[in-house]
């Protein structure tokens, strides 16, 4: 089944032997993946195996799981996470083998970030596209964000006034996770059941403006360590969940790594910013951050963020907020934590 051309489409009602979800919008990807997992469970895929591709990952595990029979379930879903979007030679061959020899009793869900042109021309990608389902999740452009917000509110049983949607879009600046969370909160706080008005959004923004996550990330991009640490302390004191802060910071670091890789490959900074959909309002801050590290440096920080995510999930020891402070200083290029460029 050809899957190319599908953008921001949910695979909720269809499960194929191989499914690839990729792109630059983590919220949409994760929600689509959740829907697909639910579909798999409903179709009798009783066992789910989660694998995350990190440095040193043994791609032989995928071959073994594809060929082995489960003792506890008749059908299995392999949930494979590939944050870098680059499987390497061994991974590409393993993914291609799975596409060519997979069975209906074992389905593969592959979730990645953005894929560059070279990756989309790879044999493994074309095999996914030919034999399974491929869906790209692009970031929602700012002019379209109010429409997305109104549609999102509808799914929550709410109507949101056009002016209110525009205000929320301007406030969240394309961060769909923040917009989605704000809609859920506004549903609880709305003075008129079923309707979110301009004054509801304005009041909520006022409450959150002092120590917003976006202000924190902007301070990090600007390299202002003092203000960034002050904002981070405010987020902690306000009871903000660290998972949201990690997500927001990782999203920017992933973008910076991708941009630095594109520039290293020969693109101009302006071309790279355009290809990654960086808004003009953010371009100066992103450009300033890009000047601090090269591809190698941003890759190192991205690995550090992945490690911090493991700490959050209890897979590694450590203190999440201390780790966020370190990540903040790294982004600001404080001398004591300088990474290789």
pLDDT value for 7: 62
The residue among 137, 162, 192 that closes a domain is: 137
Q: Please check the confidence at residue 10 and state whether its pLDDT lies above 90.
A: no
The model's pLDDT over 58-73, given as tens digits with 9 standing for 90+, comes to: 999 998 888 776 555 5
- Both 151 and 129 in one domain: the answer is no
Mean pLDDT throughout 238-249? 82
pLDDT value for 101: 82
- Both 126 and 155 in one domain: the answer is no
- Both 332 and 247 in one domain: the answer is yes
Residue-wise burial string across 141-163, b where 16 or more C-beta atoms lie within 10 A, e elsewhere? ebeebbebbbebbeeeebebbee
- Both 155 and 200 in one domain: the answer is yes
Q: Are 65 and 49 in contact (CB under 8 A)?
A: yes
- Both 306 and 245 in one domain: the answer is yes
- Both 59 and 127 in one domain: the answer is yes
Confidence of residue 90 (pLDDT cuts 50, 70, 90): very high
The model's pLDDT over 301-322, given as tens digits with 9 standing for 90+, comes to: 999 999 998 998 888 889 999 9
- Tokens read off for 177: 């996770």
The residue among 208, 228, 246 that closes a domain is: 208
- 277 part of a folded domain: yes
Count of domains observed in the chain = 3
**CA dist list (Å): 37 to 7, 14, 19, 233, 336:** 19, 11, 11, 37, 43
- 9 part of a folded domain: no
- Both 218 and 331 in one domain: the answer is yes
Q: Are 7 and 139 in contact (CB under 8 A)?
A: no
- Both 126 and 175 in one domain: the answer is no
- 10 part of a folded domain: no
CA atoms within 13 A on the CB side of 333: 14
Query: For the domain that residue 148 is a member of, what is the CATH number?
Result: 1.10.8.60
Mean pLDDT throughout 267-284? 81
- 197 part of a folded domain: yes
- Both 169 and 263 in one domain: the answer is no
- Both 183 and 69 in one domain: the answer is no
Instruction: Tell me the average pLDDT of the chain.
Output: 84
pLDDT value for 109: 95
- Both 275 and 302 in one domain: the answer is yes
- Both 65 and 157 in one domain: the answer is no
Q: Measuring CA to CA, which residue among 131, 128, 106 is closest to residue 45?
A: 106
**CA dist list (Å): 266 to 115, 262, 271:** 17, 7, 10
Rounded to the nearest 5°, which phi and psi values hold at 287?
Answer: -60, -40
Domain that holds residue 324: 213-337
Q: Measuring CA to CA, which residue among 107, 115, 104, 86 is closest to residue 18?
A: 107
The residue among 137, 157, 185 that closes a domain is: 137
Query: For the domain that residue 112 is a member of, what is the CATH number?
Result: 3.40.50.300
Query: For the domain that residue 328 is a member of, what is the CATH number?
Result: 1.20.272.10
How many Å apart are CA 205 and CA 97, to the nearest integer? 50
């Amino acid at each position: 089944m050809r899957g190319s051309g599908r953008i921001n489409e949910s695979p909720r009602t269809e499960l194929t032997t191989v499914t690839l979800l990729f792109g630059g919008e983590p919220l949409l990807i994760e929600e689509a993946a959740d829907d697909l997992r639910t579909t798999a469970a409903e179709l009798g895929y009783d066992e789910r195996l989660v694998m995350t591709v990190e440095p040193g990952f043994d791609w032989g595990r995928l071959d073994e799981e594809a060929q082995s029979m489960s003792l506890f379930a008749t059908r299995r879903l392999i949930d494979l996470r590939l944050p870098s979007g680059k499987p390497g030679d061994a991974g590409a061959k393993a993914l291609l083998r799975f596409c060519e020899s997979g069975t209906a009793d074992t389905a593969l869900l592959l979730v990645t970030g953005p894929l560059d042109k070279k990756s989309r021309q790879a044999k493994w990608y074309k095999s996914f596209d030919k034999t399974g389902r491929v869906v790209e999740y692009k970031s929602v452009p700012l002019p379209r964000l109010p429409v997305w917000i109104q549609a999102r509110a509808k799914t929550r049983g709410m109507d949101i006034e056009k002016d209110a949607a525009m205000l929320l879009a301007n406030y969240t600046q394309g961060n769909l996770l923040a917009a989605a969370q704000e809609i859920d909160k506004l549903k609880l706080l709305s003075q008129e059941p079923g309707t979110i008005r301009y004054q509801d959004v304005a009041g909520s923004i006022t409450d959150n403006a002092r120590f917003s996550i976006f202000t924190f990330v902007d301070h990090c991009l600007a390299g202002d360590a003092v203000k960034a640490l002050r904002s981070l302390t405010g987020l902690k004191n306000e009871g903000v969940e660290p998972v949201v802060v990690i997500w927001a910071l990782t999203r920017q670091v992933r973008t910076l790594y991708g941009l630095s890789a594109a520039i290293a490959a020969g693109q101009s900074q302006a071309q790279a910013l355009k290809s990654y959909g960086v808004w003009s309002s953010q371009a100066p801050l992103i450009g300033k951050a890009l000047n601090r590290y090269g591809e190698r440096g941003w890759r190192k920080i991205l690995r550090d963020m992945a490690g911090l995510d493991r700490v959050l999930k209890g897979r590694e020891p450590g203190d999440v907020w201390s780790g966020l402070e370190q990540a903040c200083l790294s982004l600001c290029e404080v001398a004591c934590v300088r990474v290789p460029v």
